[in-house]
Amino acid sequence: MPHGFFLAGDITGLDNPNAKAGEIKSTFMATKTISPRYGSGRYVKLQETLLNTGNYQRAVFFPKGLLWQCRYGNYQHGLQAQTTWTCLQPNSTRTIYIDFYCLNLGIPSPDQNEVYKILGVTISKVMWNLLNLIGWRKVNYEMIYGTFNNGNGIEAGPSYEEITDRLQTIVHNLTNLGIDITADDKAFIESIQELAPEHLPIEDDNSQFPEYLNEFIFPGK
């Protein structure tokens, strides 16, 4: 967390894990902007509340490769496939919802009673082969449906559902079945659009993300 940022409470599954996109709304700047979720994945959906105690707006970055572990291991652990970030106003809290990829085939999805913790970034060479293939492609929900200019944010290429289905299969192949990334898998990933250079979070010489970067805003009600 950046200096002055804290988690307010536990990281848990969603109160309503089956909620449709438009049913989860943002508290960002107390607007009615629909901000259903961040990240990429389908079976691990987590919520957390962030607190910014500082006197100016900041961005919180969650880098790709983060592992999110459930407390007792009876629900799916999560892998973050792409960096995501969210912005908080000074002296404010914000509850955010993030999607992840399931690392444990056949284990249930979490609900609001399961507590999670962030383990850190994976050092698995096998998993980084996948993450490096993904690069800065638009696999996150907010990168596909979010925008900076009040458009619909949807462009040519695979849909979010197609992306998450295929990437989840690849992750389960790697973690549970011992099946490597295929040529077809690689071609599919390479068909996903990349983020425009102006939207990339540029790290400094110490591999630190910027203090602030516009997030992807969801148009809506």
What pairing do the DSSP bridges indicate for beta strands 78-79 and 66-70? antiparallel
Residue 221 lies in a domain: no
pLDDT at 27: 38
Residue 108 lies in a domain: yes
Residue predicted with more confidence, 132 or 197: 132
Phi, psi of 202 (to 5 degrees): -85, 120
Predicted confidence band of residue 163 (pLDDT cuts 50, 70, 90): very high
Mean pLDDT of 79-101: 94
Residue predicted with more confidence, 73 or 19: 73
Q: What percentage of the chain reaches a pLDDT higher than 70? A: 85
Exposure string of 21-53, with b = 16+ CB inside 10 Å and e = fewer, is eeebbbbbeeeeebbbbbbbbbbbbbbbbbbbe
Residue 134 lies in a domain: yes
pLDDT at 203: 84
The number of distinct structural domains making up the chain is 1
49 forms beta bridges with: 95
Residue 15 lies in a domain: yes
99, 84, 190: which is closest to 143 by C-alpha?
Answer: 84
For residue 33, pLDDT over 70 is answered with no
> What is the pTM (predicted TM-score) of this model?
0.87
Residue 217 lies in a domain: no
Amino acid type, 75: Y
**How many CA atoms, within 13 angstroms, populate the side-chain half-sphere of residue 6?**
7
Determine the Cα–Cα distance for residues 92 and 71; give it in Å rounded to an integer. Answer: 28
Residue 50 lies in a domain: yes
pLDDT at 148: 65
Amino acid type, 2: P
Q: What range does the domain containing 101 cover?
A: 5-199
pLDDT at 22: 42
Phi, psi of 101 (to 5 degrees): -95, 135
Q: Which of 51-60, 98-107, 116-125, 202-211 has the lowest mean pLDDT?
A: 202-211
What pairing do the DSSP bridges indicate for beta strands 38-39 and 92-102? parallel
Residue 220 lies in a domain: no
Residue 51 lies in a domain: yes
